[in-house]
């Protein structure tokens, strides 16, 4: 059986794979495209949840940065209109790569990686229509949407936001940094567009609920998280959460949680995909906090040690963080 929808708005308490934690609810369905802010752990190592609102502003359902919200909402509307005009013709349509969740004859879950070539019945990947430049697979450029430009100008005029969205770069790497900032900024409204089309969110109020989770990834520090560790090859007859102590439970994994931790095919993975998927329950450890220097810095901090060669070619230095600089 295939998960029936993608890009559902992730509310407080929804489970997120570590893959998506670094976007804190960003982008279409959790297994999609890593949303460019990949974490460093996969299926067997667990996933996380976004915790509850932690201040009076968020508890009241208000944005931390009202102007950022205003410009992001306008960018969502502008991108939606541009996408609809383009798709109103007989043209190529990018599709979302959805994982599938089924079961082996033994009863263990069978979580399959997203298909490289999704069928025409898969949901449209609206954000994939846009790129920094027009191309064969990116029919629209960021500059084609005036609201994207306004949003970019606002972010670039805010030193505090730039500090959270940019990275330190070596000499001659300024173009790389500028392109990354553009990408991260435009991803914010595009992720809302994808989720709104998947879930039917139309009104400003509905879009605001989705936006607030994305805004946390940009501005909330630290991020409240729960660790969710799947118990592989451990059969439990447990239909309801089992409370172990004030911050630890054992909980069943529903289909959405299983799909969220779908492994990606890897020729160097040390754990076979069937083993990664063979978990029906997970240990949930709550009330943790994760430092959040911002989405871009978080990416390079998490991957600092593993990607030295790539960073060297780009002339990019690791952001300072708990893993060193």
Mean pLDDT of the chain: 77
pLDDT for the residue numbered 181:
92
Closest CA to 302 of 28, 33, 20, 16: 20
User: Are residues 112 and 102 in contact, defined by beta-carbon separation less than 8 angstroms?
Assistant: yes
Q: Which residue reads 């005036």 in tokens? A: 146
29 vs 23, 196, 286, CA distance in Å? 12, 12, 23
* pLDDT one-digit tens code per residue, 137-196: 899 999 999 999 999 999 999 999 998 988 765 555 668 888 989 999 999 999 999 999
Residue 27, by phi and psi: left (phi above 0), alpha (psi -120 to 50) or beta? left
N-terminal to C-terminal alpha carbon distance within the chain: 44
Say yes or no to pLDDT of 281 above 80.
Answer: yes
Work out the average pLDDT over 303-318: 44
Q: For 15-19, 83-87, 212-216, 281-285, which range has the lowest pLDDT when averaged over its residues? A: 15-19
Q: Among candidates 67, 66, 24, 51, which has minimal Cα distance to 187? A: 24
Flag whether pLDDT at 294 surpasses 50: yes
Angle between helices 174-199 and 295-302 (to 10 degrees): 110
Under DSSP, is residue 295 helix (H, G, I), strand (E, B) or coil? helix
- Asked if pLDDT for residue 268 goes beyond 80, the answer is no
User: CA-CA distances (angstroms) from residue 57 to 51, 60, 126, 220?
Assistant: 15, 5, 31, 11
Q: What is the pLDDT of residues 53-82, one digit of tens each?
A: 555 565 578 999 999 999 999 999 999 999
Higher pLDDT, 148 or 302: 148
Look up residue 307 and give its two tokens.
């990607």
Identify which has the larger pLDDT, 112 or 93: 93
Per residue in 214-241, pLDDT (tens digit) is 999 899 999 888 899 999 999 999 999 9
CB 101 within 8 A of CB 111: yes
């Amino acid at each position: 059986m295939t998960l029936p929808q993608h890009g559902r708005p992730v509310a407080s308490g929804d489970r997120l794979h570590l893959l998506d934690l670094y976007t804190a609810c960003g982008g279409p369905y959790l297994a999609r495209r890593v949303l460019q802010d990949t974490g460093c752990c996969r299926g067997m190592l667990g996933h996380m949840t976004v915790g509850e609102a932690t201040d009076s502003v968020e508890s009241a359902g208000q944005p931390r940065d009202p102007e950022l919200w205003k410009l992001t909402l306008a960018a969502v509307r502008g991108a939606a209109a541009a996408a609809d005009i383009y798709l109103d013709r007989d043209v190529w349509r990018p599709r979302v790569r959805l994982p599938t969740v089924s079961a082996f004859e033994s009863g263990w879950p069978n979580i399959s990686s997203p298909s490289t070539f999704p069928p025409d019945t898969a949901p449209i990947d609206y954000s994939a229509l846009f790129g920094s430049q027009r191309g064969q697979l990116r029919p629209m450029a960021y500059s084609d949407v005036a609201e994207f430009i306004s949003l970019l100008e606002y972010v670039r005029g805010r030193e505090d936001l730039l500090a959270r969205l940019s990275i330190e770069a070596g000499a001659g790497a300024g173009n790389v940094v500028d392109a990354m900032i553009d990408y991260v900024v435009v991803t914010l409204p595009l992720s809302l567009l994808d989720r709104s089309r998947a879930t039917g969110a139309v009104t400003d109020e509905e879009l605001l609920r989705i936006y607030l989770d994305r805004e946390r990834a940009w501005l909330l520090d630290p991020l409240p998280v729960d660790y969710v560790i799947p118990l592989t090859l451990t059969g439990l007859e447990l239909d309801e959460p089992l409370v172990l102590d004030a911050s630890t439970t054992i909980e069943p994994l529903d289909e959405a949680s299983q799909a969220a931790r779908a492994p990606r095919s890897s020729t160097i993975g040390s754990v076979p995909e069937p083993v990664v998927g063979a978990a029906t329950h997970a240990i949930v450890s709550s009330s943790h906090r994760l430092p959040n220097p911002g989405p871009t810095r978080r990416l390079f901090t998490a991957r600092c040690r593993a990607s030295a060669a790539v960073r060297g070619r780009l002339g990019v230095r690791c952001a300072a963080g708990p893993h060193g600089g």
